[in-house]
Structure 1
Amino acid sequence: MKRVAFLDDFERFAIRKRDVEACFCIGKSLPERVFNESLSYFRFEEFDWAMSAEFWPSVQTLCQSSGDASILIAVLEPDPLNYYKKEFGYFNWAELPIVASSEDYWALLNHCPDESPADSLLANSEKVVWLPPSKKWAIWGERSFEVCVLGGQEPTTLDLWNDIEWALETGMPNAFAHRILPVGFGEQLRQNYGVVT
């Protein structure tokens, strides 16, 4: 994968960071509400699926439904500025057109700095977001909880993903000792990502 997909310009990064902050509360973590109020319909999937070539057709479908021609893949942890840019000269944020192939997406995830194979997006990403220019939907992923959350303005774009009960019963338990969620975790997740009435 050519590095051209990765942001390396401070001005472009600042613009895209404002876009990300318009959709997400980047200092928060699940089960807190990490999406802003414009995205109020939620579904869940496995984090590992999002970090695979098989995920790309789903992104293409979402982009087509919202009229977007590209997607920003942005790692929030490790820090894109104070760690990644400082150490490697470019940000761990990349823009990919939806005409790219699954192989292109996989190559992007596997691309690493020459001096540090352990710093590919695939290997070193705790929190990742996927954001189209329209901001009609967005995805938040957390490796430690083993899930991604898809937030949308409309429920119609979310049909193929899983509901919150899947997240609580199947998607997230493996992230915790004895598959038992901490006291209050499920209740807070339901409060923040439950069905909109």
Structure 2
Amino acid sequence: MLSDDSWHMLSQLAAASGDEYIVMGGIEEWSDTWVKLPVDMSSEAYLSVLTKGSDQNEDMITLASRVVWMSPSQKWVIYGSRTSEICVIGFNDDVWRESLKSWQPLNDIVLGWVSVIFYTQTIPPDLQEIFQRHYGEKTWRTTDMFLKEVQMVDGYGEDLQGESTCITEMFLWELGKTFKTNDCQAIFFICGDFGEMKLVKTVEEEPDMLCPKHSYEAEIPFDLPAFQKLQSYEKKVMMAGVLEEAMLFVAEQRNWDKVAVAKAFAKMRQKDYKHQFKAWRPKMSPNFKLKAYPLVELDIYSFRLYLVIEDRKKNVIAKGVVAETETFVEDIAYYMDRLEWLSNDEVVIYTIAHKPSYFSLRVNGSSKFVKQQKENDTQ
């Protein structure tokens, strides 16, 4: 919504409601700022309002953590939150539903959008309950279940799970959050000296500590001695090949979407099994000229976290290594509490430490890790 790409939708919405302009407001605790947006203004003019404000409210819109777009005829209103990175639209007549094809009711797709602001990509239950209570339709219920976790666990007592995390996580990323299974959220593939693939446990059976509720367990043939002789890239290729065969086997057994599985592995091959992703959506600088985001890279022996600054044309202005950890999601998540611009030239990403500490990156490329102490700790 806070980009020129959104203006076409907004102007069409205003035209359909018979309004000659849209009322837009940036809301902060210290002040509210309001502007009128003529329906016939260009997308470039709309972007100018976002980035420069008007004569009376320079930069206020771009700094607002909450933004509202309203129909002066009171036929619709949109509320946007930068914290949740989501917008909610309300209208007074169901006839508007047909003209809002780019919008979704509160469902698993929308919750998937919101989940990307969390490193674990899972919305806390209390926050999800708030969304449902305030924005959910009374008739909306979902009985669908989606695949959220895949692990390759070796039967030899070796560290296959740690080495395979980069492949299993990449597969889930390319597969997406809406792969329906009906009754399964996690699959544990036991890799060992088996003669054939076998689905040994499904959700219908009693869960245990190793195979929790809503999960499957399968045995798959895996030549660990041959695997250990390979170089890193060759190991990725082998693990991806075994995982693809195993996933297609389970999909066949449980009548899942095999085409979606195959497409996910095709994307992995196109990317040469290099898994990099933006952990959060980019955050704009106060002057709206730059954006920053944490970039995570999962490799076979280590995970790396970068802080990246780009301009509006996606040119990388600066990039710094925040941390390199072992292959545990919890380790890399330690360095990813929140991102904040301290000025138009400096952005920081905080750790989850009880004492404030953060990694700082400047536009000129300089970086540093800062550990702060509370006053009573220095006395």
> Normalising by structure 1, what TM-score?
0.61
Q: Distance in 2 between matches of 1:113 and 1:142?
A: 22
The DSSP-based 3-state class of the residue aligned with 2:116 is helix
Whose RCO is larger (CA < 8 A, sep 6+)? 1
Residue identity (%): 30
1:109/1:78 CA distance change after superposition, 3 Å: farther
Give the deviation of 1:142 after TM superposition. Answer: 0.2
Contact 1:139/1:151, CA 8 A, preserved across alignment: yes
Deviations 1:31-55 (A, max 9, x none): xxxxxxxxxxxxxxxxxxx000011
Per residue, is there more strand in 1 or in 2? Answer: 2
* Pairing 1:75–2:5 present: no
CA contact (8 A) 2:75 2:91 kept: yes
Decide which structure has greater helix share: 1
State the AA in 1 paired with 2:36: E
Contact conserved, 1:78 with 1:126, CA < 8 A, in 2?
A: no
Residues 105, 112 of structure 1: alpha-carbon distance in 2 compared, 3 angstrom cutoff: closer
Does 2:82 correspond to 1:136?
no
Q: How much does 1:109 deviate?
A: 0.4
Q: Counterpart of 2:137 in structure 1: which amino acid? A: V
Structure 1 residues 196 and 136: alpha-carbon distance in aligned structure 2, compared to 1, 3 A threshold: farther
TM-score relative to the length of structure 2: 0.33
Q: Are the aligned partners of 1:62 and 1:157 in contact in 2 as well (CA < 8 Å)? A: no
Does the C-alpha gap of structure 1 residues 107 and 121 become closer, same or farther in structure 2, counting only changes over 3 Å?
same
CA shift, 1:113, in A, is: 8.2
The letter of the residue matching 1:102 is S
Aligned-partner residue type, residue 63 of structure 1: A
- Counterpart residue number, 1:121: 61
The runs of 5 or more residues in structure 2 that have no matched partner are 140-379
Q: Within 5 A, what are the aligned runs for 1:27-66?
A: 50-66=1-17
Give the conservation status (yes or no) of the 8 Å contact 1:78–1:125: no
**Do the aligned partners of 2:23 and 2:36 also contact (CA within 8 Å) in 1?**
yes
What whole-Å deviation, never above 9, does each CA across 1:119-173 have from its counterpart, x for those lacking one? 3523x1200000111111000000010001111112332432122122212x211
Q: Retained in 2: the 8 A contact 1:113–1:120?
A: no
1:189 aligns with 2:158: no
Which protein shows a greater Rg?
A: 2
Aligned positions, number? 134
2:35 corresponds to which letter in structure 1? A
Q: Indicate the residue corresponding to 1:168 in structure 2.
A: 111
Distance change (3 Å), C-alpha of 1:60 and 1:77? same
